Amino acid sequence: MVKKIELAEMPRKELEEYAVQVSAEAEQWKQKAEVYEEQIRLMTKKKYGASSEQSKAGEEQLNFFNEAEEADTDTQPEPKMEQVKPPRKKKTKGAKEVKLKNIAKTVTEYTLSGEEAVCPQCGSPLAVMKKTVRKEIEIIPAKVQVHEHLSYTYVCRECEKNAEHTPIIQAKAPAPLLHGALLSPSLMAFILCRKFEDRTSLYKTAEDFKSYGLKLSRQNLSHWVVRTAQQYGKQLYERMKEHLLEETYLHADETPVQVLREPGRKAESKSYMWLFANNHTSMHPIVLYHYAPSRAGDVPCEFLKGYEGILQCDGYDGYNKVKDVVRVGCLAHVRRKFVDAEKAVKKAGALNRKSPERKGVRYCNVLFALDARAKKIPEEERLAWKEKHIRKVLEQFLKWAEKEREKTGPANTAISKALKYCLNEKEYLENYFKDAQIELSNNIAERAIRPFVMGRKNWLFCNTPKGADSSAVWYSLAITAKENGLLLFEYFNYIFEELRGKSEKALTKEELDELLPWSEKIPDTCRRKEPEAEA
């Protein structure tokens, strides 16, 4: 029942108190409605709008270096706004040959037969006058065939007749990859490439095999992926981890993954795939995935046990548990919060260069532009350059954020969240000045985890924890191999050929190092040949 209030009978004092109460409640509801409207606008733009966070081109973006209130940098002449017509490219002689330089070639010759190679006029033999060459690009699709390894066993008939012991010798054949399985190195490499490079589910791969006349169930493929990871991939993974923990600068990130059959947990529970990668300044890229059933800070703490150096990550508090590291924040995440705040504004026309949403983005743009300059400075001079040109801008940004936060409305609006996130990252962003090699963003980890996120859209979940662990192993080898310029099928095929029959044997560090993606022992046939640019 709705309580009826007789306003006419209320004393003046009670009426004033009631009016104040109703007004306060109405204001609260209004603020809540604005927050919900913001969230709806942001969700709508994320779903249907452009996903890029790139700033719009224009005068505001071109001359942001010249704003004294934002950046104290080297003065630059303001660029002129003018339409530029791109020059038309002229066709270059020999461009086709450049494109096809790294492609294998077969030649088919077309000649006249003996009877045809005579002059139709006088009957004399015809001589070659010139050759006409026409090139086509051909594709050879996958082909399935059975490879029988037929090994003969030999016996000495003389010893069989005259001696007490008869020697029996069998010709040596390659060991099976998995005992009792119809699995070759090339088939396993193909399955792994389909799942971890092409992002194709094992169910779809099994269906595609039927078109080749081969019936293999998804369970077969899944079983092989798990067993090869345990018997072969895990040794390489652990050796790569040892190398990773010797680095001085790491990036980290994590993303949810669903595991259906995890003991003691519901199927819809969230598990996590963690990622750890070294910086591009290292001698060779290393990217490692690590599966864990939780997002607790104990996970990176345990994984990075013994590591001492720089750890760059987003604003998740769980990374605070990692000891003996210099934690560095990510300005890209800060900027993303301000970009989201821009999208949540009711009217785009309400945004201008002094709007807190846009100003936050502009500060980040200035800092990123300066960071890009810093990377071009020699490393021995870079830290001093950063102190001189970037520290003041970052301090201005953080002071502005503190003042702006005092002026913002409800704490759960998009701009309030952006300012809060920015100030929470203050200590970690300031650690940028502790080492010359530190960057402003954690984009290395963001890019490295993207193949897993894109693959998850196709295969949706892992069936068991063993499957998730195997995915972590093979994703680590696949992405690290690609980052080191290897062809994934050729690399997987090579390591399986080298490792088969050695699953029961623990390889030495030296033997494992020869098989890692950056090893000089990896044959050239496994290395990617980039097409050369047109002249």
R_g of the chain computed on alpha carbons: 33
How far are the Cα atoms of 232, 452, 496 from residue 489, in angstroms, in the given order? 16, 18, 11
What was the pLDDT predicted at 93?
67
Query: 172: which residues sit within 8 A by CB, 6+ positions away?
Result: 151
pTM, two decimals, is: 0.79
What was the pLDDT predicted at 72?
43
Range list of H helices, 185-297:
185-196, 202-210, 218-228, 234-244
- Whether residue 255 contacts residue 452, with contact meaning beta carbons closer than 8 Å, is answered with yes
What was the pLDDT predicted at 509?
92
What was the pLDDT predicted at 419?
92
Q: Write phi, then psi, for 136 (nearest 5 degrees).
A: -135, 150
Residue 67: which of 432, 376, 396 has the closest Cα? 396
Please state at what angle helix 356-374 crosses helix 414-424, rounded to 10 degrees.
Answer: 40
Q: In tens digits, what is the pLDDT along the chain, a chain of 535 residues?
A: 555 666 667 777 777 777 777 777 776 776 666 666 666 766 666 665 566 566 654 334 434 444 434 444 444 454 455 565 666 666 666 666 766 777 778 888 888 888 888 888 888 888 888 888 888 888 888 888 999 999 999 898 888 888 888 888 989 888 889 888 899 999 999 999 999 999 999 999 999 999 888 999 999 999 999 999 999 999 999 999 999 999 999 999 999 998 888 888 888 888 999 999 999 888 999 999 999 999 999 999 999 999 999 999 998 999 999 998 999 999 999 999 998 888 877 665 556 677 888 899 999 999 999 999 999 999 899 999 999 999 999 999 999 999 988 887 666 788 888 999 999 999 999 999 999 999 999 999 999 999 998 888 887 778 888 999 999 999 999 999 999 999 999 999 999 999 988 866 778 999 999 999 999 999 999 998 876 555 4
Residue 421, both tokens: 């996130």
The Cα–Cα gap between 100 and 136 comes to 10
Question: Would you tell me how many other CB atoms lie within 10 Å of the CB of residue 73?
Answer: 20
Strands across the sheet with 325-328, in order?
Answer: 287-292, 270-278, 249-258, 309-312, 325-328
Residue 191: which of 489, 454, 444 has the closest Cα? 489
The Cα–Cα gap between 260 and 516 comes to 32
What was the pLDDT predicted at 143?
85
Looking at this protein, which amino acid is placed at residue 105? K
For residues 221-249, one letter each, b for 16 or more C-beta atoms within 10 angstroms of the residue's C-beta and e for the rest, the string is bbebbbbbbebbbebbbebbbebbbebeb
Strand pairing class (325-328; 309-312): parallel
The Cα–Cα gap between 459 and 4 comes to 58
For residues 166-205, one letter each, b for 16 or more C-beta atoms within 10 angstroms of the residue's C-beta and e for the rest, the string is eeeeeeeeeeebbeeeebbbbbbbbbbbbbbbebbbbeeb
Residue 515, both tokens: 């098989």
| Strand segments (E) across 222-315 | 249-258, 270-278, 287-292, 309-312
What was the pLDDT predicted at 51?
60
Task: For residue 51, give the H/E element and its range.
Answer: none
What was the pLDDT predicted at 356?
85
Give 168's strand partners. Answer: 155
Residue 342, both tokens: 């821009």
CA quadruple 476, 479, 480, 484: dihedral, nearest 10: 170
Residue 346: which of 45, 55, 33, 41 has the closest Cα? 41
